[in-house]
Chain A
């Protein structure tokens, strides 16, 4: 029932409330009006008796008049009139009380009734005597009748008075009852009004509560808090529909906001990456330019030196100078482009050759390369700095034979490049610093200028992954291993 009411439309609900309230007032009014009606009916009744007596008096007068008229004129009309009025009066007198009771009006009616029959018989005898032309007789009967007529009139008058007195008393009583009734009626109506107001407050509160909730939520949303709980739909009326739509709207807004936020985040990340990459490049380039004093000049002069050595027949010198020129040219030519593993390996070979000439073959360089992986892409200037690092930090200051091993092998989807030395090794602390992109020893100068941090950072940027590079060392004097994991098909 209540649930069904809830699902009605607002208009019907409002109508229902006003109907209930009005019906309540109406029914109370009906009761009050019925009371007032009955009371006014009683007031009418009060004077009914008086009216009846007045009629009786008039009828009595008619009989007397008709008799007198007949006695005077002796017309058949007056006789007829006499019969008629006597019948009317007789009927009316018959209706009077025939019992002697404690009520004075009853006793007086009883007297009137008896006197009336006495009177009517006297009148009838008078008429008879008149018709029989018995003057003596009709005169005496007439006198008797007239006397009775006056007695009856007095009785009627007195009774009328008596009843009027009594009725006035009743009337007063009734008026006071009426007043009481009116006062109570008013009190009841006031109470009804109070109940009605409370009822309306109660019922409309039920109607408006969802609206208020909705308004509150809307206000919250309006202030920017989109993270609101959805409202429960209590009814299927207009408010229910609006509530549902509101809930839907809030959810949509929430989704939209999430999407916008995600987009912004992605964009920000991309921008950040780009900026970082650029910064590193700039950094590397700067360092490179600082370290390579005009590589073109160096390359050209070295090439000239190589040709000179060839002309003089110094083949080994010529070879050495050519490799050196090659080495520098790589730097100049490739710069910081994406290169293949093969190209990088070539640079490492050149570097080792130069070093071996310089340090008269102290460094033993071993290569174990899976030639299928030579075309894997990677950033330039990665392997040579690593090998240089091995030479500078790993094996330069050690006693005995320095050994560097470079291996390229596949592992799952990755092409792994491992460079290991048998040098002094690295402490765990240093490894962690390097992997986190910090310069473990900022004072140390690199011969080639490109630091480990730069290498690692560029690798990470290239592969968009943190797991592209690994350093391991089994401790002091046990060498260091650098491993690079490159995606085989990856060509970012």
Chain B
């Protein structure tokens, strides 16, 4: 009995000691692995070229979609593209971001430019330092940029014109005229927007006599939106929609994602659904939702991933061969409630 107790005692001691050793071992191993993991949180593989991407409203899903495609493509080439505004605690203008990018010693800049002189100077400054600049979506034609990646504004205007005509034939208007307002960016009277405007006008003018007789005459006008920030855009649009019902435009054409969302939101807020038809731009979730709810009549979406890919390809080509295509266009399409897509334009 006594011996049995003693043996049991020994067994318990042995087992507990084993448990202690195992626990301590596990703890040490765990600890070492933890230290390792902590020590090298990320694998540091240097990249080849470092590109900066600069856009207005970089948070919008349109630009995020472009950025995602660009990143993937750059990664495939062993390069790195960065939306530099994302990492900064302050909001900088495109111009300031250009200065930062130039001073940061990036290899290339993808910028959603404008035709301002300041932008031209910045692009030229970058180019003089050997930094390749690709303009994206909106161009700066007079600068030394390598390439422009965007959509055909002519095609865009044509599609909007087409949509306006479709509305005019579908809707029953009791007003004297059908007022179609195109929202344009203030200040930067970009050639791009001018092209769009003239293409719309062209499309309206091109309507056949028979159908033209069926609806009141269509009047195209522009409304200037301050694009400097989200609030300024919203404030501008408020001026357009906070009017007497009788003076409200019948159709509002938005040439940007943010404008589209802002107009959509305001039309809902001011209870103007059915009074104002919205022709939007880009196919973000909010916009598609607006289409489904019948607030937005249709939207025109650009092939964002193609834009992202093309801009990186342009830079890669430039660094590999010293030259690249001056233009490349991405496809655009109409999205309506029926998701009936109309492809227009395409790759360069």
Contacts and interface: CB of A to CB of B under 8 A. Distances in A.
A198 B5 CA distance: 12
B6 A205 contact: yes
A118 B87 contact: no
Given A42-B35, A99-B46, A104 B87 contact: yes
Interface string B56-91: 000000000000000000000000101010011110
Contacts of A100: 46-47, 50, 80
Interface string A372-406: 00000000000000000000000000000000000
Contacts of B213: none
A103 B106 CA distance: 16
Contacts of A188: 20, 23-24, 27
A198 B6 CA distance: 10
A143 B71 CA distance: 34
Interface string A84-127: 00000000000000011111101110110011001100000000
B196 to A, nearest CB: 34
Contact of A184 (B17, B23, B41, B99): B23
Contacts of A111: 84, 100, 104-106
A185 interface: yes
Given A38-B31, A100-B47, A151 B10 contact: no
A107 B47 CA distance: 10
Contact of B89 (A114, A158, A180, A205): A158
Given A195-B17, A202-B9, A184 B89 contact: no
- Name the prevailing secondary structure of the A interface residues: helix
Interface string B139-154: 0000000000000000
Interface string A295-311: 00000000000000000
A198 B46 contact: no
A354 interface: no
Contacts of A151: 96, 99-100, 103
Contacts of B17: 195
A107 B89 contact: no
Given A38-B35, A110-B104, A154 B88 contact: yes
B102 to A, nearest CB: 8
Interface string B19-54: 110011011101100110010011111110010000
B274 to A, nearest CB: 46
Contacts of A194: 12, 16
Nearest to A166: B41
Interface string B266-284: 0000000000000000000
Given A202-B9, A205-B6, A102 B27 contact: no
Nearest to A112: B104
B347 interface: no
A155 B105 CA distance: 14
Interface in A128-165: 147-148, 151, 154-155, 157-159, 161-162
A8 interface: no
Contacts of B38: 42, 170, 173-174
A471 interface: no
A180 B12 CA distance: 26
A185 B100 CA distance: 51
A435 interface: no
Chain B CB within 10 A, most for which of A38, A99, A111, A201: A111
A158 B86 CA distance: 10
A203 B19 CA distance: 21
Contacts of B27: 31, 35, 181, 184-185, 188
B50 A107 contact: yes
A218 interface: no
A332 interface: no
A192 B47 contact: no
A242 interface: no
A187 interface: yes
A199 B92 CA distance: 71
Contacts of A181: 27, 31
B13 A198 contact: yes
Given A155-B88, A205-B6, A114 B105 contact: yes
A181 B34 CA distance: 11
B107 to A, nearest CB: 9
Nearest to A152: B103
Contacts of B45: 101-102
Contacts of B89: 154, 157-158, 161
B80 A115 contact: no
A195 B13 CA distance: 6
A41 to B, nearest CB: 10
A118 B24 contact: no
B240 to A, nearest CB: 35
Given A28-B24, A110-B50, A195-B16, A103 B88 contact: no
A20 interface: no
A231 interface: no
Interface in A172-186: 173-174, 177, 180-181, 184-185
A12 B169 CA distance: 110
Contact of A191 (B6, B20, B90): B20
A114 B12 contact: no
B19 to A, nearest CB: 6
Nearest to A174: B38
B104 A177 contact: no
Contacts of A103: 41-42, 44
A195 B19 CA distance: 10
Given A42-B38, A114-B104, A158-B88, A187 B23 contact: yes
Interchain residue pairs A-B with the least CB separation, the first 10: A114-B105, A111-B104, A100-B50, A99-B46, A101-B44, A115-B103, A158-B89, A118-B103, A103-B42, A100-B47
Given A157-B89, A202-B6, 14 more contacts: A99-B46, A110-B104, A111-B104, A114-B105, A115-B105, A154-B88, A155-B100, A162-B87, A170-B38, A188-B24, A188-B27, A194-B16, A195-B17, A198-B12
15 contacts: A38-B31, A100-B47, A101-B42, A102-B42, A118-B103, A147-B99, A154-B89, A174-B38, A185-B27, A187-B23, A188-B23, A191-B19, A194-B12, A202-B6, A202-B9
